[in-house]
Amino acid sequence: MERQFPVNLPEGYVEFFKNLESFENEKEINLKNKCSFEKYDLLPLLASNAKPLLQLKGINIEEELYKEIFLDLLSFVAELRPETVPVMNTLRENVDELNFPAIIDEFIADDSAYFAKAAEELGVSEELFIFVLDHSLRPFLRIYASTYQEALANDEFQSWNLPTICPICGSKSHFSRLRTNDGRRFMFCDRCFSEWEARYLQCIYCGNNEPGSIKYMSIENDEAYQIYTCEKCKGYLKTYDERQSGKPTDLYIANIETIYLDMLAQEKGYTNHDFGINK
């Protein structure tokens, strides 16, 4: 059954991202036999460093493989979003000028100035440029991250002190889930699909846990999808409460579908403290 939304979302908005997720899933499956990454002992590394794994160790992606995914994504976006065709064509025409190893390094470093300058030199939208580079990278990151999910789920993983930042790829998380059987909160990274635990009644931004200052709201007949807010830093976090529905959901799509919760939170003066390109 198709989920009914409490507000009207832009036409084709959710469908585009569902198709994009399918595209990325297909690329991830195809890449599994073409690339592999060195495995590290994750928990000691995170315990002794205040940086995600990708920033500590980097990632070795074959340039031609990344270029291949990038070109396929240009065609995908152009087909589903005809208004982007001029930008997609410009990027395709200039693909040999793009330094893909440097692009990967700058994504890891979260260097927005690098991408702003590159987009300006190409004469394309910075937002679209970052979008296609980012989503071309995601299938690789999900393969890279998949080997660490068991370690992140381990109860020994208590040392990560950056709950908004993915401990694997460094992307910022805007979404969490409350687990069905015990209500424990797990943050979700929509870039590499990692999950890691965060304290239930504590602000993920400022650490505030004063009684009465962490609240939540939901929309009538949509109770599983919630916003947790902090009265100290005015931050908000979108959350899917599995206890309300009794079942898991696709967190990537749930984050996309709940844009109306972002609107509601921001209308009430809350922020998700976005910064950089890894937001």
Residue 162: its pLDDT value, please? 87
> What average pLDDT score do residues 95-107 get?
95
Tokens of 233: 């830093």
pLDDT cut 90: percent of the chain above it: 77
- pLDDT at position 201 over 90: no
Mean pLDDT of the chain: 92
255 pLDDT band, cuts 50/70/90, is very high
- pLDDT at position 82 over 60: yes
What are the counts of helices (DSSP H) followed by strands (DSSP E) for the chain?
A: 12, 6
Q: Which residues of 64-84 are buried (b: 16+ CB within 10 A; e: fewer)?
A: ebbebbbbebbebbbeeeeeb
Specify the DSSP element, H or E, that contains 214: strand 214-218
246 pLDDT band, cuts 50/70/90, is confident
- pLDDT at position 1 over 90: no
pLDDT digits (tens, 9 = 90+) for 260-276: 999 999 999 999 987 65
Domain limits, the chain: 13-146, 157-267
pTM of the predicted model, to two decimals?
A: 0.92
- pLDDT at position 93 over 80: yes
> What average pLDDT score do residues 190-214 get?
93
As a whole number of angstroms, the distance between CA 139 and CA 147 comes to: 14
Superfamily of domain 157-267: FdhE-like domain (3.90.1670.10)
pLDDT digits (tens, 9 = 90+) for 40-71: 999 889 888 889 999 999 999 999 999 999 99
Residue 7: its pLDDT value, please? 63
Residue 276: its pLDDT value, please? 57
Per the CB < 8 A criterion, the answer to whether 61 and 140 are in contact is yes
